[in-house]
Structure formats: C-alpha cells, structure tokens
C-alpha cells in the first residue's frame, strides 16, 4: 500500500526498524526514516509523538516552527526536533530532505544540552557536514536491514555528541565556501557542473 502525503514528489523509504527490548532500555535506536523530495503543500503539524527526529536538508530549504522560533533550514543544514513538543514544518519550494525518527532513554538530557549549547535545534552547515555521513549510514542501515543495534546506537550517539559540542575552531568564510562547494559537487557529480 502506497503512503500518500501531499507535497511528497518522490521518496526513498519509509524504512522501519523494530528495536529489541535491550536497545529500548540501554541504547539509542532509529524507528523509521526516508529521503523525501518535497514541494508545497507539504506540511507536518505535530502536538506530540514519543520520539525525536533529525532532518538534514540535502537540497532546497524547509521552514520550521519550534519552541516559539520560526526559521528556515537551508541546504547542508540540519534540524533536531523533540517530537514530544509541538512542532510545525513545511516546504515552500522543492527540497530534498533526509530524515529519521529515533529514541532512547537518555536522549532527552542530551537534546536539552544541544539546545542550550546551540540554540533552537537548527544546526549550521558546519555541523551538517560533520554528521551527514552518519545520517547516511543510519538511513542505509534502515534500508538494507544490515545494521546491528550497536552500530545504530553508536552512530546516533556520535551525531548527538557532535551536535552538543561547542566547537572551539570556527570555520572561516573561505573554509565554509570550499566545504559547501565540495558538498555540492559530491551530490551533483553526475550532472554537468559549471563555476
């Protein structure tokens, strides 16, 4: 049975994971995830879900209302959501988003640390570039079913720790430009590229 969601133009997934009781008690674990190609009128309004979510914007932009803030996450940025809180996100144009829901007994305190350290859960391209490979590993593990609960937990813990860390070394504008160009080339290598 196909899942119909207004504004979802294309999807890779939704892939589900059934965590063991051990993982639910002691590890971090993904629940389900996908990659979506979006356009208006895609919109999700949520009052409560017993989960957390990471959304990485691979192309385009996605609008968010979280904790009283409205912001736009652009290409290369990511957003960490506590779905137990009211949240609202939508697309006003085409966007490609890699996302997954996850959980774990100790996620809450770590998420609060991330919000204290880095604001509203909207993370810059500096963080996006650091964790995108881990996001891809989690999504590939969900898709293939060939990932152990310890690999999933390790990747999720690594993502959250990197997001919680206050970087002592900030990127210069030139470094950010080069990193964004390399990321763009990686995503579009099969297409004709110009300066």
- pLDDT tens profile 85-136: 999 999 999 999 999 999 999 999 999 989 888 777 899 988 999 999 999 9
Is residue 161 situated within a structural domain?
yes
Average pLDDT, the chain: 89
Instruction: Using a pLDDT cut of 70, give the percent of the chain over it.
Output: 88
Is residue 193 situated within a structural domain?
no
* pLDDT single digits (tens) 13-49: 899 999 999 999 999 999 999 999 999 999 999 999 9
Cβ neighbours of residue 191 closer than 8 Å, sequence gap 6 or more: none
Cβ neighbours of residue 113 closer than 8 Å, sequence gap 6 or more: 164
pTM over 0.85: no
∠ CA 122-172-192, rounded to 5°: 80
Check which CATH number belongs to the domain holding 24 and give it.
2.60.120.280
* pLDDT single digits (tens) 50-97: 999 999 999 999 999 988 889 999 999 999 999 999 999 999 999 999
- 135 CB burial (10 A radius; 0-12, 13-18, 19+): buried
Which pLDDT band, with edges at 50, 70 and 90, does 192 fall under? confident
Domain that holds residue 159: 8-187
Residue 109 to residue 114: CA distance in whole angstroms: 9
Is residue 164 situated within a structural domain?
yes
Is residue 1 situated within a structural domain?
no
Q: What are the φ and ψ backbone dihedral angles of 23, each rounded to 5 degrees?
A: -60, -40
Is residue 117 situated within a structural domain?
yes
Q: Which token pair is 62? A: 């996605």
* Per-residue pLDDT at 191: 76
Taking residues 143-155, report their average pLDDT. 96
CB atoms within 10 A of CB 55: 22
* Per-residue pLDDT at 69: 86
Return the C-alpha torsion angle 84, 87, 68, 77, nearest 10.
110
Residue 161 to residue 66: CA distance in whole angstroms: 21
- How many structural domains are present in the chain? 1
Is residue 123 situated within a structural domain?
yes
Is residue 2 situated within a structural domain?
no
Cβ atoms of 162 and 131 closer than 8 Å = yes
- Which 3 state secondary structure label does DSSP give 7? coil
Which pLDDT band, with edges at 50, 70 and 90, does 169 fall under? very low
Is residue 85 situated within a structural domain?
yes
């Amino acid at each position: 049975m196909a899942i119909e969601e207004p504004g979802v133009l294309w999807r890779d997934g939704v892939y589900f994971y059934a965590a063991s009781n051990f993982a639910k008690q002691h590890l971090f674990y993904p629940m389900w995830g996908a990659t979506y190609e979006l356009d208006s009128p895609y919109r999700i309004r949520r009052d409560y879900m017993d989960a957390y979510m990471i959304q990485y914007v691979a192309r385009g932009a996605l609008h968010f209302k979280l904790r009283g803030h409205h912001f736009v996450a652009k290409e290369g940025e990511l957003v960490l959501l506590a779905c137990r809180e009211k949240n609202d996100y939508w697309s006003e144009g085409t966007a490609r988003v890699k996302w997954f829901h996850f959980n774990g007994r100790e996620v809450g305190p770590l998420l609060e640390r991330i919000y204290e350290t880095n604001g509203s859960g909207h993370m810059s391209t500096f963080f996006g570039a650091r964790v995108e490979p881990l996001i891809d590993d989690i999504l590939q593990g969900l898709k293939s079913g060939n990932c152990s609960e310890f690999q999933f937990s390790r990747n999720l813990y690594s993502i959250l720790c990197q997001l919680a860390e206050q970087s002592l070394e900030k990127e210069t504008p030139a470094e950010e430009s080069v990193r964004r160009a390399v990321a763009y080339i990686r995503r579009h290598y099969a297409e004709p590229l110009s300066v």
